[in-house]
Chains A and B, each alone.
Chain A
Amino acid sequence: MTTYILKRILQAIPVFLGATLLIYFMVFAMPGDQIAALFGDRQPNPALLERLRAQYHLDEPFIVQYFYYITGIFRLDFGISFSGQPVIEILARTFPVTLRLAVMAVAISFVLAIVIGLFSALRKGGIFDNSMLVVALIFLALPIFVLSFLAQYFLAVQLGWFRPTVGARNDWGDLWLPALVLGFSVYATTMRLTRSSTIETLNQDWVRTAYSKGLPRRRVIPVHVLRNSLIPMVTDLGTVFGILMVGATVTEGIFNVPGVGNTLYQAIIRGENPTVVSFVTVFVVVYVLINIVVDLIYGLLDPRIRYVSS
């Protein structure tokens, strides 16, 4: 098991280097003069422009810029934003907020998806199953920004059940509304996955065996059916987390959540290469790490995988 974990972590290093190089190149290739844009419609003094460009190494070729960046990372120096803040501080400030939001969204989505998916599977083709299919399709079809605006206008502004934006208060309890929206945006896929995987499990021999041994339904469903149906869900969890970290960019903007998505969006607008690359890099790292964790949980749930890999 330990070598398996080590191998997975070592594999992450080329992924990390490749991803940063690619992202850096894409940001670098973005046209336009970011430093000139700092001055708005005004023409800045050329000498000042030169000095500012030199300060951010923008006058150097791409590979030199990347070299500065990547060697900085090993000293935990992720560069400086145009506002003079170390990017690592911005990360440290915004990341926990987005993580809270993502964890809440995943929790909401999975609890609902598993409960509703299970019941749908047990009553396959019934009224409940069909109406839940319609609901899932609606959530699947609604773009996340539409869902966000609808929730914000009706649930917060009109009904007053939530605060319309998050802002300074961004503890667990304050993130309910964006977490619900994010949760529902990924809910449909997970629910349908639970349903189909449960139906498949229900038809397995061992379930029939369990029933024929005389085990009661309340024992067969949670232990024999659910546990085995959860395996594909765990793989799904890795993808969902990835989607959420990125999907947060839209939601965080609408609900004014001071997280990574919001900050990344602002940084892209301003063309702050160090900030953009560092944020996207962290996305990549998180995604890789979560997938390692997912693979480990997979092993715990399904002993066959554990034995094969060790």
Chain B
Amino acid sequence: MKRNRIALSGLALLAAGTLSLAGCASGTDSGSGDTGGGDAEAIISVNGSEPQNPLIPTNTNETGGGKILDAMFSGLIGYAADGSVYNDVAEDITVDDPQHLTVKIREGLKFTDGEEVTADNFIKAWNYGALASNEQLSSYFFEDIEGFSYDADSELTGLEQVDDYTFTIALNKPASDFAQRLGYSAYFPLPDVAFDDMDAFGENPIGNGPYMLSGDGAWQHDVGIDLVTNPDYDGPRTPANGGVDIKFYASQDAAYADLLAGELDVLDAIPDSAFETFESDLGDRAVNQPAAIFQSFTIPERLPHFSGEEGNLRRQALSMAINREEITDVIFQGTRTPASDFTSPVIDGWSDSLEGADVLAYNPDKAKELWAQADAISPWDGSFQIAYNADGGHQAWVDATVNSIKNTLGIDASGAPYPTFAELRGQVTDRTIQTAFRTGWQADYPGLYNFLGPLYATNAGSNDGDYSSADFDKYLSEGISATDADEANSLFQKAQEVLLKDLPATPLWYSNVVGGYADTVDNVEFGWNSVPLYEQITKVG
């Protein structure tokens, strides 16, 4: 399954020239054979959703707004479809050591209002995003930079301008994959005009990317946003079409009906109700491939029977009692891929042969045996429950999973529905939840560390199960300090082998990106983050 690709991360960015080429090359090898035709002026239509926040890069943390910002802005680097990185605004990013980077940007690039893109635009934008009183939802992206503070307004002293086109980044702790993060929307530059009135800017953003707003009021709230190509754009993502109309849909069913009727060119989310039929409806225009989304359930260590040696045996027994193959096949119609680690197959460094990964395979005999061993330490009582939010379509798989557990181990197991995501998250956050609960992670940038550090490091921000392991922390910090990408990845794999023993979260499956396109377009390729690469899409005829 694993695709071979050149390992790229932190240090590898030194080879800037080849990276730019890699980015361009990835544009030409999409599924369909026809690469010739296509009207470079034609507007393509794609699905989207009303952004939940004004379109300010550091205040957008959901996909609806993220898609638009990615089309309108160019960051220092970009991500190719396979998750590899290439330079965009950056001419060169040097990782001097795990805590220091030097960024040189290309000269002569412009925002769509004519202002030149300089180092200052990055420094000011990042400072704006990091400043506590600006209350930006993505402020945590800057927490590794020297000077950052959550509690008080504080300047990012780690950012220093060398000249108009060069600046340095000093980090407050080693993060050798920092350079790899810089393609995320929180790190986009902002033109000076943004700081005059950020609210107004959020309504009519001015970017430096391949697309720009078609005019004032191009963002029709709840309806859509019209983007046209930016004639001044000079970078690796030169559009092969004339623009993108992003239509907002409240339900994926409506979007799918539009796709079938030829009213929509590209759809990046097939509704659950069409999982059974979309491949026959769309033929070879259906897309179903693993995405950078990891699904699991978490059993907090504070629950009775789930700590120490007993807990360990029970966690392993539960994991082996789940028939992942069958559930992904029957419930999800093959739109999920059974997990074999804690990351995702689209991330460089993913492996399906980690030591201890057999704990993720269905093995009812072993599961019973381990459960009996745990019972010998302290007999099991009560019921095993997995909490989920009923507003997110999780009931089917939770029921299947607890049934698999019930039938294998002969214990009482059930799903615990919460009406809303907010309610579930509330109890998870304040640690009052008394059951296992569903968890998931969508990567911000294509790196192994992003799936591990924030979730399982001791006291990490999203460590919902309060997991703590000295071994895991050691491998993780060694990995993040390693400036060689291969070495870092092998350390992250070692860290995952610790997780496979302890199972702070039980890996279930990777979500696939399930989408499709109409016969009106060609060259549709989905990026590592499940969003189609708009600039490559061409209109047929």
CB contact under 8 A between A48 and B139, given known A82-B53, A90-B221: yes
Render A234-257 as a binary contact track against B, CB cut-off 8 A, 1 for contact: 000000000000000000111110
Residues of B contacting A219 with CB < 8 Å? Answer: none
Mark out the residues of chain A between 160 and 177 whose CB falls within 8 Å of any chain B CB in the assembled complex: 160, 163-165, 167-168, 170
A84's partner among B50, B53, B257, B442 (CB-CB below 8 A) is: B53
Query: Once the chains bind, are B462 and A43 in contact (CB under 8 Å)?
Result: yes
Chain B CB within 10 Å — which of A40, A163, A255 has the most?
Answer: A40
Nearest-Cβ distance from residue B76 to partner chain A, whole angstroms: 23
The answer to whether the Cβ of B62 comes within 8 Å of any Cβ in the partner chain is yes
Q: Which residue of B lies closest to A265 (CB)?
A: B250
Mark out the residues of chain A between 254 and 268 whose CB falls within 8 Å of any chain B CB in the assembled complex: 254-256, 258, 262-263, 265-266
Render B454-497 as a binary contact track against A, CB cut-off 8 A, 1 for contact: 10000001111000000000000000000000000000000000
The answer to whether the Cβ of B164 comes within 8 Å of any Cβ in the partner chain is no
Chosen A-B contacts, 16 in total, with CB atoms closer than 8 Å, are: A33-B423, A37-B420, A42-B454, A47-B151, A55-B135, A82-B53, A83-B50, A85-B221, A149-B253, A157-B261, A165-B255, A165-B257, A258-B223, A262-B250, A266-B50, A269-B391
Query: Once the chains bind, are A33 and B261 in contact (CB under 8 Å)?
Result: no
The answer to whether the Cβ of A153 comes within 8 Å of any Cβ in the partner chain is yes
B254's partner among A32, A90, A164 (CB-CB below 8 A) is: A164
A263's partner among B151, B222, B420, B423 (CB-CB below 8 A) is: B222
Query: Once the chains bind, are B258 and A164 in contact (CB under 8 Å)?
Result: yes
Which bracket fits the contact residues of A? Answer: 35 or more
Query: Once the chains bind, are B221 and A31 in contact (CB under 8 Å)?
Result: no
CB contact under 8 A between A37 and B421, given known A45-B139, A51-B135, A270-B52: yes
Nearest-Cβ distance from residue A55 to partner chain B, whole angstroms: 8
The answer for the CA separation of A52 and B133 in the assembled complex, in Å, is 10
Which bracket fits the contact residues of B? Answer: 35 or more
- List residues of chain B with CB under 8 Å of any chain A CB: 50-54, 61-62, 132, 135, 137, 139-140, 150-151, 199, 202, 220-224, 247-251, 253-255, 257-258, 260-261, 263, 391, 418-426, 429-430, 439-442, 454, 461-464
Residues of B contacting A44 with CB < 8 Å? Answer: 137, 140, 461
Query: Once the chains bind, are B425 and A52 in contact (CB under 8 Å)?
Result: no
CB contact under 8 A between A33 and B223, given known A84-B53, A156-B257, A256-B249: no
Query: Once the chains bind, are A167 and B224 in contact (CB under 8 Å)?
Result: yes
Nearest-Cβ distance from residue A300 to partner chain B, whole angstroms: 38
Nearest-Cβ distance from residue A219 to partner chain B, whole angstroms: 49
Q: Which residue of A lies closest to B152 (CB)?
A: A47
The answer to whether the Cβ of A217 comes within 8 Å of any Cβ in the partner chain is no
The answer for the CA separation of A208 and B184 in the assembled complex, in Å, is 81
The answer to whether the Cβ of A271 comes within 8 Å of any Cβ in the partner chain is yes
Mark out the residues of chain A between 32 and 73 whose CB falls within 8 Å of any chain B CB in the assembled complex: 32-34, 36-45, 47-48, 51-52, 55
Query: Once the chains bind, are B51 and A83 in contact (CB under 8 Å)?
Result: yes
CB contact under 8 A between A43 and B429, given known A38-B137, A160-B261, A164-B254: yes
CB contact under 8 A between A36 and B422, given known A47-B132, A254-B253, A262-B222: yes
Residues of A contacting B439 with CB < 8 Å? Answer: 41
Nearest-Cβ distance from residue A255 to partner chain B, whole angstroms: 7
Query: Once the chains bind, are B150 and A254 in contact (CB under 8 Å)?
Result: no
Query: Once the chains bind, are A163 and B261 in contact (CB under 8 Å)?
Result: yes
B462's partner among A34, A41, A90, A263 (CB-CB below 8 A) is: A41
Nearest-Cβ distance from residue B512 to partner chain A, whole angstroms: 18
Nearest-Cβ distance from residue A50 to partner chain B, whole angstroms: 10
Residues of B contacting A255 with CB < 8 Å? Answer: 254
Q: Which residue of A lies closest to B52 (CB)?
A: A83
The answer for the CA separation of A10 and B498 in the assembled complex, in Å, is 70
Nearest-Cβ distance from residue A31 to partner chain B, whole angstroms: 5
Nearest-Cβ distance from residue B253 to partner chain A, whole angstroms: 7
